[in-house]
Amino acid sequence: MDNPLRDRRVPSELAEKRQVIEISNKISDFVRLEEIVAKDLSALEADKLPRHWRESLVTGRLAFGYGGTRNNFPALEGNLAVTIDAVCQRCLEPFRLSLATEFRVLLCDAGQSPGEHDGYELWELVDDTVRPIDIVGEALVMAMPLSAMHGTADGCLEIEADAVGVVETIMPFAALKTQLHDKGK
């Protein structure tokens, strides 16, 4: 076994051994996450593109065991953290976004029902084996916000009023209202 995060293994083997995997990998090791971040950053001009964003570290811990109401299904519990470069959807400027997630999944065959799953989510296996890196990558993608933004509007660069333009409100019946009000006196 070269890399327990990348190796394909039968989930019950990992659960029986109570396999624990400490993670300290670059974003570039998680293909889907890297693609999503790259697509987001592609909206930036070249001079604003963060350098070395693929090298941000994903850290965390995975622990295999058994779970479910009868503890008879292979289970994986984990916590992950990473800081990614993103584009703020409010000001359209790059910023660093911290992601953290915890998850608990039961690893079961497609169509298999563990019944009550005691706080676990179900992860249906496509075949008899699993690569922990695939689950980690999916958990990180699911932890991403739909619209990445600075924590507060104050974190965004101020948008100049001239750039936005001042919108005049036209009130066509304002004069009529004044005339009616004056006529009633």
User: At residue 47, what are phi and psi to the nearest 5 degrees?
Assistant: -75, -15
The structure tokens listed for 42 are 């592609």
Phi-psi region of 89 (alpha: psi -120 to 50; beta: other; left: phi over 0): alpha
Answer whether residue 51 is part of any domain. Answer: yes
Model pTM above 0.85 = no
Q: Find tokens 């289970």 and name the residue.
A: 75
**Which residue positions in the chain have pLDDT lower than 50?**
159-167
**Structurally, how many domains does the chain consist of?**
1
Q: Is residue 56 part of a domain?
A: yes
Q: Is residue 132 part of a domain?
A: yes
Confidence (pLDDT) at 158: 53
**pLDDT tens-place string over residues 138-181:** 999 999 988 888 877 666 765 443 344 444 555 565 665 666 66
**Is 81 contained in some domain?**
yes
Give me the domain span that covers residue 65: 11-183
DSSP element (H, E) containing 36: helix 31-41
- State residue 75's pLDDT score: 92
pLDDT for 166: 46
Tell me what pLDDT residue 150 has.
84
Residue 2 falls within a domain, yes or no?
no
Establish if 1 belongs to a structural domain. Answer: no
Q: What share of the chain is helix, strand, coil (3-state, %, to 5)?
A: 30, 30, 40
- Specify the pLDDT at position 149: 87
Q: What is the pLDDT of residues 173-185, one digit of tens each?
A: 566 566 666 766 6
Residue 156 lies in a domain: yes
Any domain includes 5: no
